[in-house]
Amino acid sequence: MKIDQILDEKQQLDEVPAGALGQMAKKIGSRVLNKVPGATAKSKAGNLAGQADLGDTANTMHKEFNTYLGTQGKKMAQATGEDLSAFLKTKKHKTKTTIPSGVLQKQQLNDIMMTVSKEALAGQGGMAPKSAAVDANKDGKDDKTGKPIQQKSQSDEKPKIPAKLLTALQKLTPEEKKQLAELL
């Protein structure tokens, strides 16, 4: 019996961006090679495990993008470069790859997902964190921008409630909470 006899014509075997059979082969190969003595086998096992992680990350990102598209009332075939850019912003990821505008072809989307996954696994592509203001000369202004630095006051910080007191407050009935609020 052939596989095309089992599958409907509508079903597709291609999975994006990394296929399930290839992923499974990499994971099994990694485990088997890890049991073989010798540094070369262990090195190859590590490489296969890394490739499997990359594929898993790309597949997860693809699934999340598809979910995002669903919230926008679109299907994957209607995905545009603008949609992908907006999705990556929600993930706080700034990719170095160029995302074309307009509707993305399947292979374009897969290539971008793999690139973004590589960046994510390498710790690259995240939005740059806002750097803290530096006031080395203690003049009350940021040394880089010259803008005044807002000082944190103690009233800005939330007071910490001791665990015993928090537990006791949570056990109060609504009437007791009203009475306590009136007393405060």
The answer to whether residue 133 sits within a structural domain is no
Rounded Cα distance between 106 and 111, Å, is 9
Segment (H or E) for 163: helix 163-170
Residues 33-50 have a mean pLDDT of 84
Average pLDDT over residues 33-46: 84
CA separation for the pair 128, 93 (Å, rounded): 9
pLDDT of residue 66: 92
pLDDT at 67 over 80: yes
- How many structural domains comprise the chain? 1
Greater confidence (79 vs 147) lies with 79
DSSP per-residue codes, 49-112:
HHHHHHHHHHHHHHHHHHHHHHHTT--GGG-BHHHHHHHHHHTTB--SSPPPSSBPPHHHHHHH
Which residues lie below 8 Å from residue 15, measured CB to CB, with a gap of 6+?
59
| Domain presence at residue 174 | no
User: For the residues 67-95, what does the mean pLDDT come to?
Assistant: 90
| Least-confidence region, from 1-5, 97-101, 115-119, 144-148 | 1-5
Give the model's pLDDT for residue 70: 92
In a domain, 64, yes or no: yes
Domain membership of residue 106 as a residue range = 12-121
Domain assignment present for 4: no
